[in-house]
Amino acid sequence: MGLLSEGTPLSWEETKAKADHVREHGITQFINLWKRHKDVKKDCLLWGDEVEYTLVHLDHENEKSSLLLKGDKVLHVLQQQERENPADLKTIWRPEYANYMVEGTPGKPYGGLMAYFNMVEANMRRRRKEVMRLLSEPGETALSVVTFPRLGCPNFSRPEFPPTPTEGASRSLFYPEEVIFPGHPRFKTLTRNIRQRRGEKVAINIPIFKDKNTPSPFQEDLSQYGDSGESQAASLPDHIYLDAMGFGMGCSCLQMTFQACNIDEARHLYDQLAPLCPIIMALSAGSPIYRGFLSDIDCRWFVISNSVDCRTREERGLEPLQKDRFRIHKSRYDTIDSYLGPCNACYNDIDMVYDRDICSRLKAAGVDELLARHVAHLFIRDPISLFSEKIDQNDEEESDHFENIQSTNWQSMRFKPPPPNSDIGWRVEFRPTEVQLTDFENAAYVVFVVLLTRVILSFHLNLVIPISKVDQNMKTAAKRDALRQGKFYFKKDLLTGYSPPKASECICNCPCGNVDISRAVDAEDEYTEMTINEIINGKVSNNL
């Protein structure tokens, strides 16, 4: 997960005080990166995947399983090779939010030849083996599973720790401090700052699955966990209540990143993959159980979304705007709000909140309207962690302030500018896939998505539909059995290698740089509702 700068984290108040500083320099850093790399023409395809593993302890004798809090110990050994022999790495390891998680990626990115697709599963197998080798105590194992079903249940970890509802970063009724990765201050800092910024604990209410014996309404008495009444008020009947960042960021996913040949291709791929986010998520669904209860959802997306929702009551629209600047419609972890390619401006039919001043500043520097709005949208957020050593930067050579905001906007797709001082180009990250239990399945999803990008580019396919429909699809995709029962908006005809007539009207009247959002196209005849099966396997129709 993101940025791991060294050092001493500031308190929330100190961080908030520096918010404008971070934003201002972050934009300068983006402008510098953009200027330096906007004309790079011929980058090659490089790509990679990230798999998150969950360390588990199985006590067969007592038929008990628990989350093994050994991430820091295991990582220390796993990262040895990186310290000792950085030139010839086959695998790279990073910490994740919880101390029962480790994240592995291939040592070197894969390249443009088809042969690389054969390497993915082998490298994943190698990664799993490396972790397993370090789990030598009886009962210890590693799983690539989206959620641990009893995360947050009493004594779910090993060692066991009691939750601390009145102190610590989370203040959770269920999630002890010690579960958060202790090896770097970032994760606890984020947890505390999100809670303090929001002004209250995060509240995640997941619809419960109504089984035969589920009481109606289903409502837990949270006082049994030490609740003073705050949580009870935040919990909803017929929902599973969770109250910590750890419930979201302690979920595991499968991510793919690829480098495009230039900025335009990156923007194009970002757009083309966006409509696929809900589809792939529904296909890969694997997280129906939370805090020991069967839920009515199959995917983790909105759990994570709510678990890091730092919006204040004003921003959420519960109180009139006084201290805060914007009414914000989404958590900083959620789906994207706009397409980036100029020919897709007409499909941006969501009222996207963005910082007008930042947008103007970017445009003055030469950035086009769409990209300027995108960055200005990311930058409505405050930084939620800041390290004292990183406050003053050389904006020409460092980009920590930009990355600070960029990496704490956790969206379904991420558009990644080249880092300073490196050969790396413009990249796109695909983030919604739920991790699978086996290396074979994980490799299949990774290869499928990357291959799909090659097909989209080779055959000039166009999957873009109004972005509001993609958002609706995401809600549908998270539901129980969306895979078989869900209906998703999807483009009827993928073959227009050229913009459809309405879109080209839009372009003629507002050339790149003059996008008028009120001209969002009514593209109803371009898309229709389909099941996942029809989208993936085709729809038998009378007219071809």
Question: Do residues 448 and 430 touch, judged by C-beta distance below 8 A?
Answer: no
SS3 annotation, 501-534: HHHHHHHHHCCCCCCCHHHCCCCHHHEEEECHHH
Q: Which residue has the tokens 């880092």?
A: 419
State in angstroms the smallest separation of the CB of 451 from another protein.
Answer: 8
**Between 238 and 257, how does the x/- string for binding to another protein read (CB under 8 A)?**
--------------------
Strand 333-334 versus strand 410-411 pairing type? parallel
Member of 454, 475, 487, 502 binding another protein (CB under 8 A): 454
Closest to 443 measured CA to CA, from 431, 435, 432, 454:
435
Q: Taking the complex as a whole, how short is the minimal distance between the CB of residue 544 and another protein, in angstroms?
A: 5
Q: Which of residues 495-514 bind another protein (CB under 8 A)?
A: 495, 497
Stretch that binds another protein, among 88-96, 132-140, 341-349, 489-497 (CB under 8 A): 489-497
Q: Nearer Cβ to another protein, position 133 or 492? A: 492
> Residue 113, interface with another protein (CB under 8 A)?
yes
Interatomic CA distance for residues 278 and 216, integer angstroms: 31
Closer to another protein at the Cβ: 113 or 508?
113
Tokens 């770097």, residue? Answer: 184
Query: Contact with another protein (CB under 8 A): which of 313, 460, 492, 539?
Result: 460
By C-beta, is 269 or 345 nearer to another protein? Answer: 269
**Minimal CA–CA distance to 231: which of 179, 192, 189, 174?**
174
Q: In the bound complex, what is the minimum distance in angstroms from residue 272's beta carbon to another protein?
A: 13
Candidates 261, 283, 328, 378: give the one binding another protein (CB under 8 A): 261
Q: Left if phi > 0, otherwise alpha if psi is -120 to 50, otherwise beta: which for 250?
A: alpha
Whose Cβ is closer to another protein: residue 181's or residue 430's?
430
Q: Are 392 and 21 in contact (CB under 8 A)?
A: no
Instruction: Give the amino acid at 78.
Output: L
Number of residues binding to another protein, judged by CB under 8 A: 18
Contacts of 530 (CB under 8 A, 6+ apart): 487, 488, 490, 539
Q: Does 540 engage in binding with another protein (CB under 8 A)? A: no
45 versus 124: smaller Cβ distance to another protein: 45
Distance CA 307, CA 312 (A): 14
Which residue, 461 or 510, has its beta carbon nearer to another protein?
461
Select from 8, 14, 17, 111 the one that contacts another protein (CB under 8 A): 111
The Cα 73–Cα 84 span in angstroms is 17
Position among 14, 17, 36, 44 found at the interface with another protein (CB under 8 A): 44
Nearer residue to another protein within complex by CB, 259 or 476? 259
Q: Which two tokens stand for residue 247?
A: 């419930």
Structure token digits, residue 99: 């101390």
Residue 542 interacts with another protein (CB under 8 A)? no
CA 106 to chain CA centroid, Å, is: 19
Contact 37, 418 (CB under 8 A): yes
Residue 308 binds another protein, judged by CB under 8 A: no
Nearer CB in complex with another protein: 228/504: 504
Residues 45-74 that bind another protein (CB under 8 A): 45
Piece in contact with another protein (CB under 8 A), picked from 52-60, 105-113, 428-436, 521-529? 105-113
**Smallest gap from residue 498 Cβ to another protein (A):** 10
Contact with another protein (CB under 8 A) among 421, 458, 518, 542: 458
Separation in Å, CA 208 to CA 250, 288, 296, 318, 400: 20, 10, 5, 25, 41
Q: Which stretch binds another protein (CB under 8 A): 54-62, 182-190, 427-435, 490-498?
A: 490-498
Among 87, 318, 540, 544, binds another protein (CB under 8 A): 544
Whichever of 284 and 462 has its CB closer to another protein, that residue is: 462
CA distance between the termini of the chain: 45
459 lies in the site for another protein, by CB under 8 A: yes
Q: Which residues contact 255 (CB under 8 A, 6 or more apart)?
A: 49, 50, 429, 430, 431, 433
Q: Which of 143, 391, 457, 512 touches another protein by CB under 8 A?
A: 457
Q: Report the alpha-carbon distance of residue 253 to residue 360 in Å, rounded.
A: 36
**87 binding another protein? (CB under 8 A):** no
Closest distance to another protein from the beta carbon of 457 (Å) = 5
Binding-site member from 7, 112, 217, 511 for another protein (CB under 8 A):
112
Q: Do strands 333-334 and 101-106 pair parallel, antiparallel, or not at all (unpaired)? A: unpaired
What is the closest distance, in whole angstroms, from the C-beta atom of residue 34 to another protein in the complex?
Answer: 22
Binding site for another protein (CB under 8 A): 42, 44-45, 111-114, 261, 454, 457-460, 494-495, 497, 538, 544
